[in-house]
Structure 1
């Protein structure tokens, strides 16, 4: 992900988690450790204040995404709006955040991930591997993903992937907005803050892993 323009953004601090570093077998972690959710929550709350919509943090679980934290537009409770609660899972290819993470994978990895087919979803629009690959090509071009009432009716999502220093997806941030008041012209106001938060988290981790002191501010 390219560095987003604009002022300072809330950062997801990953320095104390070892996120993205090799494990004892030399393999890099593909998902954040349990402590990641606690560390990221403050940044999630600050992001919610910026976009003034519900924001969610999710990780990949096989071909699904799982919500691990949320900050709602009405409170700071860890409760996902629109019926989605922390711990819930759904197919990655219907969620904006899930799509953003899937787009970081090669087509061969998508084939392996969904080798038994795509799980049906009542409001989903992607139902074949070929359709998924075409959609991922579009997401890779713009570096963010959307879902227009694909997770459920009445909700629009905008999502970006949080990547490790090797550009591998480990989590995603999304905004969730009622479709009745979502304006496509406002999409940059969702993408930029989410991308800024994700970018700061990646940069902070890279500095610590490389033995450099992270920049302040």
Structure 2
């Protein structure tokens, strides 16, 4: 069993004396587009958030005024506004690990000539914070902020390998283990085996589990207490790499970069 401590516990429910439900509803309006990435009407937003159309109209009017929503130029409804990009910029420039990791990731990108990513853990998911592209990419694979389930991503498994068994079991039990591709591993015994493999090897590998034709290898970055705080990914095309060759070439580079950023 890994000796690293689990992530800090969070309150199961917010303190009702401090919790502002109007703010929650506004955030839920913005989050709707993460589940349905297309322009949405007021009626569609109201249904997705679980509020009446009048309430949705007031929230959307306010968010449009502030620049967090905008009208779709094609007249199909509302979509996220440009002001949201400012908040992403704020997060990235103020995150100490993102700033410290960027030069190392750029060097790793030069050494591998393949896509290099940095992901951050968020409970059951990983979120890509840095993405340095290679010569061929699909659109979504280039975007900062993309979220993937931890259970089926190399970065998620690499970070879970640095957690105690009880924490890993909790993550797997709460995960929605629907497959992203026909090759996504979803069975619990097989997932436990992949995480155990990552503990032994020092890195995790996922082959076509998030995107067909893609192989991704990841190593965890740890803090001073040994807790996983990020993962470094190297991704490539199976049309150019055999799995064994990819492991042999990329695993030492990913692990060395992760060690350099740990602590």
Q: Are residues 1:113 and 2:171 paired?
A: yes
The equivalent residue for 2:119 is 58
User: Is the Cα–Cα contact under 8 Å of residues 147 and 157 in structure 1 kept in the other structure?
Assistant: yes
Which structure has the greater CA radius of gyration?
A: 2
- Structure 2 residue aligned with 1:83, among 114, 133, 140? 140
In structure 2, stretches of 5+ residues that fail to align are 1-7, 9-91
The equivalent residue for 1:135 is 194
TM-score, scaled relative to structure 2: 0.59
Superposed CA deviations along residues 19-65 of structure 1, whole A, max 9, x for unmatched, are: xxxx9xxxxxxxx9723212321211111001111101001111111
TM-score, scaled relative to structure 1: 0.70
Q: Are residues 1:171 and 2:230 paired?
A: yes
User: Is the Cα–Cα contact under 8 Å of residues 152 and 210 in structure 2 kept in the other structure?
Assistant: yes
The equivalent residue for 2:99 is 38
User: Is the Cα–Cα contact under 8 Å of residues 118 and 127 in structure 1 kept in the other structure?
Assistant: no
Q: For 1:137, what is the secondary structure of its paired residue? A: helix
Aligned equivalents of 1:117 and 1:49: distance in 2? 35
In structure 1, stretches of 5+ residues that fail to align are 1-22, 24-31, 206-217
Aligned equivalents of 2:167 and 2:221: distance in 1? 18
Q: Which has the higher helix share?
A: 2
Aligned equivalents of 1:117 and 1:128: distance in 2? 12
Q: Alignment length, in residue pairs? A: 169
Superposed CA deviations along residues 108-128 of structure 1, whole A, max 9, x for unmatched, are: 102222333433132153223
The equivalent residue for 2:108 is 47
Report deviation, 1:155: 0.6
Poorly superposed stretches of 4+, deviation over 4 Å: none
Cα RMSD of the aligned pairs, angstroms, is 2.3
Higher RCO (CA-CA < 8 Å; seq separation 6+): 1
User: Is the Cα–Cα contact under 8 Å of residues 152 and 186 in structure 2 kept in the other structure?
Assistant: no
